[in-house]
Structure formats: structure tokens, C-alpha cells
Amino acid sequence: MKKQHVTLSENDRPHLENLISKGSLPAKVYKRAVALLELDRGGTFTNVAQIVGVTIQTVSTWAQKYGENGLDFLSDKPRSGRPKEIDGLTCAQITALACSDAPEGHSHWSLRLLAEKVVELEYIDAISHTEIGRILKKTNSSPT
């Protein structure tokens, strides 16, 4: 049976070996790099799939993508989807507002009160109290 493999360029092989030796690499990038190196050493798709812990089809796809795009395929392209409406600056402003003194007549900030104030201060056009809660949950602050 003929072995299916990839031939790495002279620049790509040391680059992949260097990536693997660093140790601080996302798991998917590590698996892809190891798979390419194993395919370059003459491993079959079946053997490499067992070593890396993925399906044969996945290894085949990686080999094909390497042939088309080189090492650019190691990291995924940005996924499509709804873009973020609230940037980091706005999140920081909301957090700072939540950490400030509550308005007169209130003992503390509620999520609804924060949402109203954020729109009033024109940090953003519209925001729900649940989104305010999600933003504050990512910090160590508490609106109450």
C-alpha cells in the first residue's frame, strides 16, 4: 500500500519543530504541526490520525490545506458572525459607572438603572440590563 504523505519545505520543517518545542501553543495548532511533521516523515493518514487523536479525514484535510495555503492553515481564519457592538472602552466605562456612587435616591446601582444611565450618557445607543449584567460578570465588580 502506497503511503500518503506531505513534503514540507526546508523553511517550514524547522519552523514547525520550533513551534512544538515552545510549549505554549494552542492544542489545535500543536496537533496540526505534529501531524504535518509526521506526514513529512512518511506517516500514513491512518497512523497520523491515531497519533494525533483525530479522524483520517481531518488529517487529509490538513494535508490538503497545507498544500494550498502553506503554514497559514495552522491557525483558523476569523469566523463569520455578528460583530461585537460593545467595544472594550464602552465596557470599561460601564464598569467604572457601576463602581461609582449610586444616584441620589438609590442605595446602589441596579442593572436596569445602569442600562438607563449608559444610554443617557450616550456610551451606546441602546443596551439591555441583561447585557450590563454580562459585562459586569466578566469583572470582579458587583453592582449591588
Q: Per-domain residue ranges for the chain?
A: 12-74, 88-137
d(CA 126, CA 7): 54
Q: What is the mean pLDDT of residues 6-33?
A: 87
d(CA 113, CA 17): 55
Listed in sequence order, the residues at least 6 apart from 131 whose beta carbon sits closer than 8 Å to its beta carbon are: 86, 115
Residue 142 above 70 pLDDT? no
Per cent of the chain over pLDDT 70 is 94
- Here the cell at position 99 is 463602581
Alpha carbon distances (Å) from 98 to 57, 104, 120: 50, 14, 14
Listed in sequence order, the residues at least 6 apart from 1 whose beta carbon sits closer than 8 Å to its beta carbon are: 44
- Tell me the pTM: 0.57
Q: What is the mean pLDDT of residues 100-120?
A: 94
- Here the cell at position 40 is 513529512
Write down the pLDDT at residue 63: 92
Write down the pLDDT at residue 141: 54
Residue 4 above 90 pLDDT? no
Q: What is the mean pLDDT of residues 97-107?
A: 92
d(CA 110, CA 93): 16
Write down the pLDDT at residue 2: 55
Half-sphere exposure of residue 69, counting CA atoms within 13 Å on the CB side? 12
Residue 109 above 80 pLDDT? yes
